[in-house]
Amino acid sequence: MEEIVRVLRDVFRVEIAEVLELFDAGKQLRARVSAGLKPVAFGRRVLNAAGDSQAGYTIQHNAPVIVTDLRAEARFRPSPTLLEHGVVSGMSVIIRGRSHPYGVLAVHATRRRRFDADDANTLTAIANVLGMAIERAATEAQLRASEAQSRFLASIVEQSEDAILTRDLDDVIMSWNPGAEQLYGYSAEYAIGRKARELQLRNLSERDYERLLARIRGAHRVRFESRCTTRGGQSVYVFGTAGPMYDDSGQHIGEIVVARDVTALRETRNQLMQLNNDLEQRVAERTAQLETAYREAEALSYSIAHDLRAPLRAISGYAKILEEELTPILPDTAQNYLQRMYGNAVRLGTLIDALLSLQRLSRQPLARTRVRLNEAVEDALNWLRSEQPGREIDIAVEDLGEAEIDPALIRLAFANLLSNAMKFT
Q: Is the dihedral of CA 320, 324, 329, 334 positive or negative?
A: positive
Domains and CATH numbers, the chain: 2-142 (3.30.450.40), 160-261 (3.30.450.20), 284-423 (no CATH)
pLDDT in tens, 21-68: 999 888 999 988 999 988 877 767 888 888 789 999 999 999 999 999
Least confident of 248-252, 268-272, 347-351: 347-351
To the question of pTM greater than 0.75 for the whole model, the response is no
- The answer for residues whose C-beta is within 8 angstroms of residue 150's C-beta and 6 or more apart is none
d(CA 257, CA 273): 30
Amino acid identity, position 327: T
Q: Does pLDDT of 269 surpass 90?
A: no
Q: Does pLDDT of 338 surpass 80?
A: no
Q: Does pLDDT of 121 surpass 90?
A: yes
Q: Answer yes or no: are the C-beta atoms of 238 and 259 closer than 8 Å.
A: yes
Residue 289, classed as helix, strand or coil, is: helix
pLDDT at 389: 60
The secondary element (H helix, E strand) that includes residue 174 is strand 173-176
354: exposed, middle or buried (Cβ count in 10 Å: 0-12, 13-18, 19+): middle
Q: Does pLDDT of 217 surpass 80?
A: no
pLDDT at 63: 94
pLDDT at 45: 83
Residue 105 banded pLDDT, cuts 50, 70, 90? very high
Report phi then psi at 258, rounded to 5. Answer: -125, 125
d(CA 76, CA 70): 9
Least confident of 109-113, 128-132, 213-217, 326-330: 213-217
pLDDT at 355: 64
Q: What is the 3-state secondary structure (H, E, C) of 71-98?
A: HHCCCCCCCHHHHHCCCCEEEEEEECCC
233: left (phi over 0), alpha (psi -120 to 50) or beta: left
Rounded average pLDDT over 374-403: 77
Report phi then psi at 52, rounded to 5. Answer: -105, 30
Least confident of 176-190, 267-281, 378-392, 393-407: 378-392
C-beta atoms surrounding 56 within 10 Å: 21
pLDDT in tens, 340-375: 777 777 767 766 766 666 666 556 566 678 888 888
pLDDT at 193: 93
- The answer for residues whose C-beta is within 8 angstroms of residue 221's C-beta and 6 or more apart is 241, 242, 243, 244
Identity of the highest mean pLDDT range in 186-200, 306-320, 396-410: 186-200
Residue 128 banded pLDDT, cuts 50, 70, 90? very high
Rounded average pLDDT over 89-101: 92
pLDDT at 325: 80
Q: Answer yes or no: are the C-beta atoms of 202 and 229 closer than 8 Å.
A: yes
